[in-house]
Amino acid sequence: MKELKIQINPKVIRKLLIIRPRFIGDVLLSTPLVRSLKSVFPRMKIAYLAEKSSLEVLKNNPYIDELITLERGNLADDLLMIKNIRKRGFDAVVDTFGNPRSALLTFFSGAKVRIGWDHRGRKYAYTHFAGSAGKAEDAIDNYNSVGRLFGIRKFGRDTVIKLSAEERKSADDFMKHQAINSRKQIVGIHPGASWPAKMWPAEKFAALADRLFEDGRQVIIFSGPKDRVIGAKVLMLMKNKAIFADNLPLRLFSAVVSRIDGFISNDNGAMHIAAAFRIPLVGIFGPGDPAVWFPYKKKAVWLKQSVPCWPCRKDHCDDLKCMKALGVKEVYMALKRISGRKGK
């Protein structure tokens, strides 16, 4: 085996900060790295800086010593955050986001070791670079490349959400309140996404939900604050009556998802939350690249239709060819295969 070159001496890193300001899925995809660092170097104090909504998925994480809230704001707010970071005396900072703001926070952190990726225009901020030049990696491998700089050889790939006993009880109370039959399988559907181009049509989700009903399953339609409209539209188009879990707090949403038997979702943060609980998962992709953003293997499958215009990585699209080309039967059969459930 080729000798692994250690670029950073872990013995001099007492306190480490990870910066990933936003996007729940991306934060979750970084948790295998956090677990590896803490497992190999248990005395290392690890802090995580993110916006409040993203920090929610990291609560109770046993591998993180401190959660620091990053407010969206102006230059004055950034200067206060820089002062806050410097006061904590971090020996190393890992910028997993790499936008101009996170690069500035890293550069002025006061840390001698500053790790990032070789992004154009941001190289000035870092002393060490992660990633494998010229080698395609999925998101988890990409984050784990930070650990290789510390000499870590083996990495786990399971993402981490830790629920408290109280949160699990809240999920059970939700199920009871909704009169969910525990003897029937429950499938969750999340039809929303951060951008319209990532959304499978509502009428297809409705037809899929009805087919699941015909197969004897119960269905919960989930929606967040930004996708209540499409969630309500799916319900309106359905022939059967599904449970509408509208805008649940993120921790309760996570706990409820941990209790169900399958999950179908667009490429969004909810998909990554479901993946953390290792339940049968079908991810529907449009402009995004599942080879990067769906690094899950066990009881998980992604679906994407090949069209000439892919990959476009657009947030908005006038015709949604890739999404419209994916059929209801394909999604239904994919869930059937990974859940081991007979279907029609």
In a domain, 3, yes or no: no
Same domain as 77, residue 51? yes
pLDDT in tens, 210-254: 999 999 999 999 999 889 999 999 999 999 999 999 999 999 999
Q: How many residues does the chain have?
A: 344
Quickly state the pLDDT bin for 68 (edges 50, 70, 90). Answer: very high
Q: Which two tokens stand for residue 55?
A: 């920090």
Answer whether residue 128 is part of any domain.
Answer: yes
Statement to judge: residues 183 and 145 lie in one domain = no
Q: Examine the domain organization and report whether 96 and 14 are in the same domain.
A: yes
Q: How many domains does the chain have?
A: 2
Q: Is 42 in the same domain as 175?
A: no
**pLDDT 10s digits, 172-222:** 999 999 999 988 999 999 999 988 999 999 999 999 999 999 999 999 999
| pLDDT tens track for 281-291 | 999 999 999 99
Question: Is pLDDT above 50 for 1?
Answer: no
Domain encompassing residue 102: 10-149
Q: What is the mean pLDDT of the chain?
A: 93
Residues 134 and 173 in one domain: no
In a domain? residue 4: no
For the ranges 2-11, 141-150, 263-272, which has the lowest average pLDDT? 2-11
The residue that leads in pLDDT, 342 or 85, is 85
According to the model, what pLDDT value does residue 313 have? 74
Query: What does each C-alpha distance from 341 to 76, 217, 275 come to in angstroms?
Result: 56, 10, 19
Together in a domain, 81 and 217: no
Q: What is the pTM of this model?
A: 0.94
Higher pLDDT, 184 or 316: 184
Residue 281 counted as domain residue: yes
Q: Assess whether 30 and 143 both reside in one domain.
A: yes
Looking at the structure, tell me whether residues 115 and 199 fall in a common domain. Answer: no
Whether 212 and 118 map to the same domain: the answer is no
Say if residue 92 is in the same domain as residue 119. yes
pLDDT at site 135:
63
pLDDT the model gives residue 294? 97
- The answer to whether 181 and 187 are in contact (CB under 8 A) is no
75 with 200, same domain: the answer is no
Q: Identify the CATH number of the domain in which residue 181 sits.
A: 3.40.50.2000
- 157: in domain: no
> 9: which residues sit within 8 A by CB, 6+ positions away?
none
Task: Return d(Cα 69, Cα 19) in angstroms, integer.
Answer: 10
Would you say residue 133 has pLDDT above 80? no
Select from 117, 149, 181 the last residue of a domain: 149
For residue 341, the model assigns a pLDDT of 55
**One domain for residues 17 and 135:** yes
Query: What's the chain look like in SS3?
Result: CCCCCCCCCHHHCCEEEEECCCCHHHHHHCHHHHHHHHHHCCCCEEEEEECHHHHHHHCCCCCCCEEEECCCCCHHHHHHHHHHHHHHCCCEEEECCCCHHHHHHHHCCCCCEEEECCCCCCHHHCCEECCCCCCCCCHHHHHHHHHHHCCCCCCCCCCCCCCCHHHHHHHHHHHHHCCCCCCCCEEEEECCCCCHHHCCCHHHHHHHHHHHHHCCCEEEEEECCCCHHHHHHHHHHCCCCCEEEECCCHHHHHHHHCCCCEEEEECCHHHHHHHHCCCCEEEECCCCCHHHHCCCCCCEEEECCCCCCCCCCCCCCCCCHHHHCCCHHHHHHHHHHHHCCCCC
Please determine, for residue 4, whether its predicted confidence score (pLDDT) is greater than 70. no
Residue 132, pLDDT > 80, answer: no
Which of 149, 182, 203 delimits the end of a domain? 149
